Amino acid sequence: MPELTDPIVELGKRLGYRFADPGTAEQALTHRSAGPVHNERLEFLGDAAIGLVVADMLYAEWPELAEGDLTRMRSSLVNSEALACLARTLDLGGLIMMGTGEQHGGGFQRRSTLEDAFEAVIGAVFLDGGYAAAREVLC
């Protein structure tokens, strides 16, 4: 019989990050169908943190580019499909806690669910460890 792994510990391994507050990570992995404490607020924070980290990296890497060019580059890197792809790479779908109906409906594979979970996880890292931690996880 395979050993069960705590989803928070597993998430930390996959990210290379140890949460000081495991409750924040648990919330990041909780879909709204699973209960009243879920990941939507962390998703909001993560979206902004991802945008800031990518903007910071592009700004430093491409000093000769104008604002419009940097904006287009950021948009090509930070979009629904790209974030869902990162979530799939981390196999986040298997860690997301969701209600039975959502689970049976394949919610753990849905692009929007994966994108939202990835943003929430980065929001949790940002909240837990600050900008430097979010940048480290994303880079």
Catalytic-role residue among 47, 115, 116, 128: 47
User: Which residue is catalytic, options 26, 43, 115, 119?
Assistant: 119
User: Active-site residue 47, yes or no?
Assistant: yes
- CA pair distance 7, 10, nearest whole angstrom: 5
Question: What is the SS3 assignment for the chain?
Answer: CCCCCCHHHHHHHHHCCCCCCHHHHHHHCECHHHCCCCCHHHHHHHHHHHHHHHHHHHHHHCCCCCHHHHHHHHHHHCCHHHHHHHHHHCCHHHCCECCHHHHHCCHHHCHHHHHHHHHHHHHHHHHHHHHHHHHHHHC
CA atoms within 13 A on the CB side of 70: 17
Residues with a catalytic annotation lie at 47, 119
